[in-house]
Chain A
Amino acid sequence: MISRRVKGLLVAAFSFLTLTFSNVSVAQEHHNDGETAHEEQVHLEDTEKEGEKKFDANEVIFGHVLDAHEFHFFSWKGADGHDHHATIPLPVILYSPTRGVSTFMSSAFEHGHAEVNGYKLVGNDVVPVDANEKVYDFSLTRNVVQMFIALALLLVLMTGVAKRYKKGHGVTSAPTGFQNAIEPVITFVRDEVAKPNLGHKYAKFMPFLLTVFFFILINNIFGLIPGSANVTGNIAFTLVLGVITLLVVNFSGNKHYWGHIFNPPVPGFVKFIMVPVEILSIFTKAFALIIRLFANMLAGHIIIICLISLIFIFGNISTIAGAGFSPISVGFAAFIYVIEVLVAFIQAFIFTNLTAVFIGQAVEEGHGHGDEHHDAHGHVEDTLAPTEPVII
């Protein structure tokens, strides 16, 4: 009974949310389509006029998952009638071919109300006041800053662990403490990811696979801290990792791998279809990696924020509805949060594992074709390889 009621409520909540969502996303596109700044201002004033009780779920959700030039925690309306924001401003670094490099703190924009050095803040983007000017934004945005913090921590932790190994701790004696927590992860990557996919060539790719794994993992975990930036759920981040993987896979590809792409073992006329498909597959593999990580991490964040936003959406209808819905909302958010912790590890593992699979396909010695599963037992294949017919 209760579960059915909860389900009913959820359905209602989500359909409501979707409706709100679709409306505002239309509005959002409207903005990006290059409406003038004036209209933007009007829109902003509109929302302000409607009262401070008005809750914009779209703004909240995208404010959380998108990159920004500051760490924004909360806002309030002061006694003087102005908006106050609790933020950590971050450095803005801009390069313009005509005006060179200019740097200043993002607080100079006064949350989009001021122009600095001929630049202004529109949404999350820094744009030149003069629309004809071109500008490249290399700002230390919150994603960048958070990534740097996470990676600094990663470097400290890992070199610390390495130092203990260098001292012989864990070589001649049992590892302890944090070293003991990291070691199974490293051996997992080695024994469950690298060795089965790469066979005896695994050692060469171990540093890359480990770096990718921990790079993603630590950023995933940092992204779970409330109020933090959504680094791994940003397509630029996953794009870089995907492109690096693409390069590593293809630069380590051997004769057999390229032979398979440009001369697949199919009858002549099918080759004309297969070669483009194979060439396309080089890019689809990396593309799948990019989208998978991006979408998974983004979706997790959005779901949590949506569930929390529901409280305020209901709150807008009536305070009682908001208060009544909050336990359900918080419960679901906590549940999704726990899943997100799991997903942080799973996505790091999947990215690493698929990278290993793709590298494995690129470096495997010629034997058979079209079977993507048999390289999961690379070490067995290596011993069997000489007896199998080589088809190129």
Chain B
Amino acid sequence: MQLLTPSLGLIFWTLLAFLIVFFVLKKFAWGPILESLGAREEGIAESLESAKRVKAEMAQLKSENEDLMARAREERSLMLKEAKETKDRIVNEAKEQAKAEANKIIAEAQQAIQAQKMAAITEVKNQVGKLVVEVSEKVLRKELAGKEAQEQHIQGLVNEVKLN
């Protein structure tokens, strides 16, 4: 029966001890400990949050960079293309111009040739005419010296005549 009958002294001392321990620990242990644990957990949560934020920012920055790079690349290729086009155009234009010039020169040359040719032909014609007249004159002068000689002479004359 002694097991089941609580003794007054032990009740009194236990109660006293519990109250003292409770108030002392509440003030000097649980308060600071729980506060510190809470602060640490908050700190960790905050750090994680900020890390997440920084990561997102980094990702954004990276994507922005990539965007910029892509745009720069695009611009460069565009510029290259333009430059090439310009070059082609210039070359073509130059070619065209050169061709036109050449054509012009050729045409002029042909014209000059034509003109000279005409002049030459005219001269030849004149020469021929003159020669014919000369030959005729000579033939007429040599009519007396035999028929054979005449023909020989004519032949010689004819041989002499060379059209250029």
Q: Which residues of A approach B to under 8 Å, CB–CB?
A: 29, 32, 62, 65-67, 93, 123-125, 136-141, 143-144, 147-148, 151, 154-155, 158-159, 161-163, 165-166, 170-172, 183, 186-187, 190, 203, 206-208, 210-211, 214-215, 234-237, 239-241, 244, 298
- Chain B residues closer than 8 Å to A138, beta-carbon distance: 8-9, 12-13
Is A67 a contact partner of B7 (Cβ separation < 8 A)? yes
Quick check: A144 and B24 within 8 Å, CB to CB? no
What B residues does A186 contact at CB under 8 A?
Answer: 33-34, 37
| Interface majority SS (helix, strand, loop, mixed), chain B | helix
11 contacts between A and B (CB under 8 A): A137-B7, A141-B7, A147-B14, A155-B29, A158-B25, A158-B28, A165-B37, A183-B37, A186-B37, A207-B31, A298-B3
Of B11, B14, B24, B39, which is within 8 A of A171 by CB? B39
* Binding stretch for chain A, among B15-23, B67-75, B114-122, B139-147: B15-23
B129 interface hit (Cβ, 8 Å)? no
- CB contact between B2 and one of A32, A170, A183 (< 8 Å): that residue: A32
Is B156 in the interface zone, CB < 8 Å from A? no
B40/A237 in contact, CB under 8 A: no
- New A-B contacts (16) at CB < 8 Å, excluding given A136-B9, A206-B34, A211-B21: A62-B2, A67-B7, A137-B7, A144-B13, A147-B17, A148-B17, A151-B17, A151-B21, A162-B30, A162-B33, A183-B37, A207-B26, A234-B6, A235-B4, A235-B6, A239-B6
How many A-B pairs have beta carbons closer than 8 Å: the answer is: 132
Chain A binding surface, main DSSP class: helix
Q: How far is the CB of A184 from chain B (nearest CB, A)?
A: 11
Closest to A210 in B: B30
A136-B8 contact in complex given A151-B21, A207-B31, C-beta closer than 8 Å? yes
In the bound complex, residues from chain A placing their C-beta under 8 Å from that of B65 are none
A240 and B34 contacting across the interface, CB-CB below 8 Å: no
* In the bound complex, CA of A126 to CA of B124 (Å): 173
Bound Cα distance A67, B5 (Å): 11
Q: Is the CB of B22 within 8 A of A208?
A: yes
Question: Interface size on B (CB < 8 Å)?
Answer: 36
Let me know if A239 and B33 touch, CB within 8 A: no
- Chain A residues positioned under 8 Å from B14 (CB to CB): 144, 147, 236-237, 240-241
- Collect the chain A residues with CB atoms within 8 Å of residue B22's CB: 207-208, 211
Q: Which residues of B contact A (CB under 8 A)?
A: 1-15, 17-18, 20-22, 24-26, 28-37, 39-40, 43
Residue in B1, B8, B14, B39 whose Cβ sees the most chain A Cβ within 10 Å: B14
Cα(A203)–Cα(B26), bound, Å: 12
Chain A residue contacts of B20, Cβ below 8 A:
151
Contact B9 A211 (CB under 8 A): no
Residues on A with C-beta less than 8 A from B7 are 67, 137, 141, 236
A208 to B18, CA, bound (A): 10
Name which residue of chain A comes closest to B27, CB basis.
A207
Residue of A nearest to B26 (CB): A207
In the bound complex, CA of A29 to CA of B5 (Å)? 14
In the complex, which residues of chain A have a beta carbon less than 8 angstroms from the beta carbon of B28? 158-159, 162
Instruction: Evaluate whether A161 and B29 lie within 8 angstroms (CB atoms) in the complex, with A66-B2, A236-B11 already known.
Output: yes
Contacts of B36 in A (CB 8 A): 165-166, 170-171
